[in-house]
Amino acid sequence: MLLVWCIGMKKIASHDEIDIFAPENSRFSFLKSPYAAHITHSAVDIYYGDFGNEALSPVDGEVIDVQSFDTPTPFKEWNSKEYVIAIRQNEMVIKILHVKPDVTPGDSISKGESIGTFIHNGYFIFWNDPVMHVEVRHLNDYLRASNNLCLVPNIEWNELPSSRNIEFECSVEMINKQYSLLFAPYRTSGNVMGFALDGGFLDGYISSQEDGFFGIVKPPWILSPPPVA
């Protein structure tokens, strides 16, 4: 295993005492995907690098399980194999998907250390970038898709701009085979970049379809209101 000293890691989310980190140059999204754990605010996708490049551990801990399974895919030239990497920290497990592992059960891992390489399989559509899917799970329940252990984004909520309706002009930043990347002025709040909307931060992408999926990241007290005395 290679310990990567040259890449700084930033805290992007937490669940209780479990902190999740990502490379400083990464992008990340809590609600962009329509898969089960994202709908319950219990997963984060971390984007950086290229397919086949190293994927870095988002946490410290011990690898306790590595599994593989086939995914459905309409693209015959794609490898359909998916992997689950389970890293234990105290009494919780950090579940990682979309990475072909080069670690084995029993390995001790530190955040920023290589755990494998990014893969492209049946869970991806043509415009997807390399991504690591991360969840915090209970020790005896880390394989099934659904999850309700919510992640708290590392956002400095008091710095959020205030706006419900937003209009912005975009310039073309990049065009590749998968998609076009547009740039618009944004605000930062902690490690998060984006636009204020509906009491929170717009997360993920703006869909071209009327029923397309995206999400709004909101402060914990909006997601889970405190009980009324």
User: The pTM is what?
Assistant: 0.85
Return mean pLDDT, the chain.
84
Are residues 144 and 92 in contact, defined by beta-carbon separation less than 8 angstroms? no
Res 137: pLDDT: 98
Angstrom distance (rounded) from CA 200 to CA 202: 7
Nearby residues of 211 by Cβ (< 8 Å), 6 or more positions away:
none
Task: Give the count of beta carbons closer than 10 Å to the beta carbon of residue 144.
Answer: 9
pLDDT at 83 over 80: yes
- Look at residue 99 and tell me whether its pLDDT is greater than 90: yes
pLDDT per residue over 183-228, tens digit each? 888 777 777 777 877 778 888 776 666 656 678 888 876 655 544 5
Bridging pattern class, strands 92-97 and 99-101: unpaired
pLDDT in tens, 105-150: 999 999 999 999 998 876 777 677 889 999 999 999 999 989 999 9
Share of the chain above pLDDT 90, in %: 47
What tokens does 182 get? 């547009």
